[in-house]
Amino acid sequence: MPPAAGGTLIPMISKALILSAGLGTRLRPLTDVMPKPMVPLAGRPLLEHLVRRCAAAGIGDLAVNLHYLPHVVTDHFGNGAAFGVRLLYGLEAELLGTAGAINNFREFFSEPFLVLYGDVYFDVDLAAFAAAHEASGATATVGLYHVDNPTECGLVDRDAKGRITRFVEKPAVAFTDLANAGIYAMSPKVLDYIPESGFCDFGRDVFPAMLAAGEPLYSEVLDGYVMDIGSPQKYERAKAYVASRA
């Protein structure tokens, strides 16, 4: 992270997309009244934890895609100023997928950016992750973490330098325990692999297309806590972790 003239650190990546359009059906009845990224953890919505973590890492320009009960998010965050960030919202009439969500913000992402899944709580160093991506020269870097249920996740094979050689969504037979953490760093070149309309998913569509084209797609094993809250059991585990750190 390079220093400014006065010695202040300037983040190499200052923009992020936080994916927040999911329905969260497995967390009902809690998600009957709020989108999944707004479920509470230690008195704050999950999405607020993510926004504040971005702000702490110097990532101050955030795009958020919305679909289900969008007013719950916009009423809580407004323009983001109270949380130390600037928020740009994109409303999806129909779900566009993890990659298709970028189409509401193509001009916004004309420089390197992060993508964060809004239903994943994490306690990792985003600035260090962004710096590793910049140092590798990768077109995209996928954050990885060790899981005990690999057949339920997106898995990767990678070489000794961390370059990804295979990406498989929820394989029938596990070949590694390193799973996609839902934290990506990306060059704007990734947008070349995302159709300008329609549904598109990073794991199923974009990453395989990048690999087929020979794009440098790298990985970084994250040092810290990662937990998706897609099920009641995992949500309870995340709540316990956050409460223990309060």
Half-sphere exposure of 209 (CA within 13 A, CB side): 15
Which residues lie below 8 Å from residue 197, measured CB to CB, with a gap of 6+?
103
pTM here is 0.89
Number of helical H runs and strand E runs in the chain: 6, 13
CB 104 within 8 A of CB 90: yes
At 5 the pLDDT is 39
CB 157 within 8 A of CB 91: no
- The alpha carbon torsion through 238, 207, 190, 89 (nearest 10 deg) reads -40
**Residue 244: burial class (beta carbons within 10 Å; 0-12, 13-18, 19+):** exposed
User: Quick check: helix, strand or coil at residue 239?
Assistant: helix
The residue behind tokens 């898995």 is: 155
Q: pLDDT tens, 45-97? A: 999 999 999 999 999 999 999 999 999 999 999 999 999 999 999 999 999 99
Question: Phi-psi region for residue 214, left (φ > 0), alpha (ψ -120 to 50) or beta?
Answer: left
Three-state DSSP class for residue 217: strand
Q: Among positive and negative, which fits the CA dihedral 31, 99, 41, 229?
A: positive
Q: Is the pLDDT of residue 117 over 90?
A: yes
In the numeric block, which tokens belong to residue 214?
Answer: 């020979």
Binning pLDDT at 50, 70 and 90, where does residue 229 land? confident
- Nearest by Cα to 183 from 135, 137, 242, 224: 224
133-155 pLDDT, tens digit per residue, is: 998 889 999 999 888 776 666 67
pLDDT score for 67: 92
Query: How far apart are alpha carbons 223 and 63 in whole angstroms?
Result: 25
What pLDDT is stored for residue 148 in this prediction? 77
Cα 121 to Cα 227: distance, rounded to the nearest angstrom: 5
Residue 180, pLDDT above cutoff 90: no
The H or E element that residue 77 is part of is helix 70-77
